[in-house]
């Protein structure tokens, strides 16, 4: 290779890895062509790697396809780039293409390939890759072992993950974290806790995984204890910790802890730098009944996402300030922010609390016609609640009939409540029967139906409800009225 060509290669590599020049892909590509290096697998490997970092994989694919003889190095870099920036399925296609061309994978092929399988939760393809790893004898490489554990935990195959984990001679913190997250994700939180306590070294990700796993399993008190343990150990929370623990504080009414977390987030600049942290603070204060602080944080946010607006609108509904919530929705629209499904759940709840029936109807129609958002059960539930509370029980019943999906217990419960308030006992009877059909184990539904029959003077039917409960072995919950 001539000195001129070597210098051209060095210049191209400097351009590719220079912080200010790496984004100029077309200019760098021109250098390739000018010096007849556009088929250099080594340089192209670096090029596609940068494309992956910059999320420019269509360009990388174009360059790759123009090379008639890609080698293992170029294939590996393409597979890795797709595993980083996606679409991950392209990594799998490239692996198949590589084998079709008779190119044998090496140890650098499998880790990013497994990452793509994890991204896709493709258990079957991943198992095939694992089999090939065993055939070529690369199962002892740490990066590959980590990739296998990640694959199996992402696919919720914890027995497979445990087998790989047990065979590892050195278990990095990331592997422990993957196992904890996997056990929590599959509902085996107790096993996650066991792994957590066995760890000699923990990262912030470890603590966050354990806190999140407990919180998502409804074990908020334990999640708060783990957070306190982390805090007492002197480990600084990050933005993920703050976002995870604030809902726990709100649910448990641990207002002082939430305020402490807020103070910490402010001291580290997280409240202003990380939108999700500010969103969580707004949500926390709304659920804690401190609307003034929630509104101040919302107002001072340098950037607002749709989640920010949704949190504030829903928070106003939660605190009975429905009219203000509708006004905030209008303000959001005036700023050019498009609402999503969650926005309409919040603003329709605002209408319910403020008794704004016609506004609710208009918003529901605009969601479908203007914003092309398909109503879900929550939206129908909000509308049934709004119409029912306002005495429009027949309209609420017709809306339920028009639903493309089956109503759930919450919807029938909302209709039943409205019927009893407004004296439509016949429709209340119908709603009660639907509730019993959906929740045959819930004694409260039988009690409600029995009370309705009693109010209508249908004493034979009251007795039939009692017999039905006995037949289904449904026990009356404590504190309920007796069925006579």
Q: Which of 173-182, 291-300, 308-317, 428-437 has the lowest mean pLDDT?
A: 428-437
Q: Residue 183, class by beta-carbon neighbours within 10 Å (0-12 exposed, 13-18 middle, 19+ buried)?
A: buried
Asked if the structure places residue 37 within a domain, the reply is: no
Asked if the structure places residue 447 within a domain, the reply is: no
DSSP state, residue 424:
-
Query: Per residue in 11-26, is it b (16+ CB within 10 Å) or e — as a string?
Result: ebeebbeeeeebeebe
For helices 409-422 and 425-438, the axis angle rounded to 10 degrees is 160
Q: Which residues contact 190 (CB under 8 A, 6 or more apart)?
A: none
Q: Where are the beta strands (DSSP E) in 386-464?
A: none
Rounded to the nearest integer, the mean pLDDT of the chain is 89
Asked if the structure places residue 216 within a domain, the reply is: yes
Asked if the structure places residue 186 within a domain, the reply is: yes
Mean pLDDT along residues 299-310: 96
Alpha-carbon Rg of the chain, whole angstroms?
30
pLDDT at 344 over 60: yes
pLDDT at 245 over 50: yes
Match 């995870």 to its residue by tokens: 244
pLDDT at 484 over 50: no
Q: What pLDDT is stored for residue 2 in this prediction?
A: 57
- pLDDT tens-digit profile of 432-451? 888 878 888 777 777 777 77
- pLDDT tens-digit profile of 254-272? 999 999 999 999 999 999 9
Please indicate whether residue 185 or residue 422 has the higher confidence score (pLDDT).
185
Q: What pLDDT is stored for residue 203 in this prediction?
A: 93
Q: 165 with 149: CB under 8 angstroms? A: yes
Cα end-to-end distance, the chain, whole Å: 99
Q: Residue 475, class by beta-carbon neighbours within 10 Å (0-12 exposed, 13-18 middle, 19+ buried)?
A: exposed
Asked if the structure places residue 229 within a domain, the reply is: yes
What is the Cα–Cα distance from 451 to 458, expressed in whole angstroms?
10
Q: Residue 438, class by beta-carbon neighbours within 10 Å (0-12 exposed, 13-18 middle, 19+ buried)?
A: middle
Confidence category of residue 196, pLDDT binned at 50, 70, 90: very high
Asked if the structure places residue 318 within a domain, the reply is: no
Mean pLDDT along residues 424-433: 80
Residue 189 lies in domain: 171-235
Q: What pLDDT is stored for residue 122 in this prediction?
A: 95
Asked if the structure places residue 246 within a domain, the reply is: no
Asked if the structure places residue 466 within a domain, the reply is: no
Please indicate whether residue 33 or residue 395 has the higher confidence score (pLDDT).
395
Please indicate whether residue 480 or residue 236 has the higher confidence score (pLDDT).
236
- Is the omega angle on the peptide bond into residue 216 within 30 degrees of 0, that is, cis? no
What is the Cα–Cα distance from 398 to 208, expressed in whole angstroms?
46
DSSP string, 282-299: HHHHHHTT-HHHHHHHHH
- pLDDT tens-digit profile of 270-284? 999 999 999 999 999
Count of domains observed in the chain: 1
Q: Which of 13-22, 123-132, 433-442, 455-464 has the lowest mean pLDDT?
A: 13-22
Measured torsion, CA atoms of residues 76, 78, 80, 81, in degrees rounded to the nearest 10: 160
Please indicate whether residue 75 or residue 460 has the higher confidence score (pLDDT).
75
Q: What pLDDT is stored for residue 479 in this prediction?
A: 46
- pLDDT tens-digit profile of 29-55? 787 777 676 677 888 888 888 888 888
Closest residue by Cα to residue 91 from 76, 103, 107: 76
Please indicate whether residue 226 or residue 477 has the higher confidence score (pLDDT).
226
What is the Cα–Cα distance from 107 to 110, expressed in whole angstroms?
6
């Amino acid at each position: 290779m001539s000195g001129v060509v070597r210098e051209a290669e060095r210049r191209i590599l400097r351009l590719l890895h220079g912080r200010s020049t790496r984004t100029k892909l077309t200019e760098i590509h021109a250098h390739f062509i000018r010096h007849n290096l556009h088929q250099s697998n080594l340089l192209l490997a670096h090029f596609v790697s940068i494309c992956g970092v910059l999320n420019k994989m269509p360009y990388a694919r174009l360059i790759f396809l123009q090379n008639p003889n890609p080698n293992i190095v170029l294939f590996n870099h393409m597979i890795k780039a797709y595993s980083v920036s996606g679409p991950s399925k392209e990594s799998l296609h490239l692996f198949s293409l590589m084998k079709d061309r008779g190119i044998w994978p090496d140890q650098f092929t499998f880790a990013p390939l497994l990452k793509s399988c994890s991204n896709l939760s493709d258990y079957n393809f991943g198992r095939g890759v694992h089999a090939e790893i065993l055939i070529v004898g690369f199962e002892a490489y740490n990066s590959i072992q980590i990739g296998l554990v990640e694959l199996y935990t992402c696919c919720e195959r914890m027995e497979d993950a445990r087998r790989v984990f047990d065979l590892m001679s050195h278990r990095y913190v990331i592997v422990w974290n993957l196992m904890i997250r996997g056990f929590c994700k599959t509902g085996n939180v107790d096993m996650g806790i066991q792994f957590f306590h066995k760890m000699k070294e923990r990262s912030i990700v470890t603590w966050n995984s354990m806190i999140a796993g407990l919180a998502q399993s409804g074990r908020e008190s334990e999640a708060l204890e783990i957070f306190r343990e982390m805090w007492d150990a002197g480990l600084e929370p990050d933005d993920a910790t703050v976002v995870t623990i604030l809902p726990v504080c709100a649910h448990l009414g641990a207002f002082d802890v939430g305020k402490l977390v807020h103070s910490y987030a402010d001291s580290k600049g997280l409240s202003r730098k990380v939108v999700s942290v500010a969103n969580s603070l707004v949500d926390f204060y709304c659920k804690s009944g401190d609307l003034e602080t929630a509104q101040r944080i919302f107002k001072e946010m340098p950037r607002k996402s749709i989640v920010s607006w949704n949190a504030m609108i829903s928070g106003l509904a939660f605190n009975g300030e429905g009219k203000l919530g509708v006004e905030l929705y209008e303000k959001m629209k005036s700023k050019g922010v498009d609402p999503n499904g969650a926005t309409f759940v919040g603003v329709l709840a605002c209408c319910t609390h403020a008794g704004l029936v016609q506004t609710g109807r208009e918003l529901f129609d605009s969601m479908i016609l203007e914003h092309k958002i398909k109503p879900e059960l929550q939206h129908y539930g909000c509308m049934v609640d709004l119409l029912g509370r306002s005495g429009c029980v027949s309209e609420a019943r017709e809306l339920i009939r028009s639903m493309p999906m089956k109503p759930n217990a919450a919807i029938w419960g909302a209709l039943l409540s409205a019927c009893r308030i407004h004296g439509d006992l016949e429709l209340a009877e119908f709603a009660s029967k639907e509730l019993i059909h959906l929740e045959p184990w819930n004694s409260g539904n039988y009690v409600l139906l029995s009370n309705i029959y009693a109010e209508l003077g249908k004493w034979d039917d009251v007795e039939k409800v009692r017999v039905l409960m006995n037949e289904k072995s449904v026990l009356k919950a404590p504190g309920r009225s007796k069925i006579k």
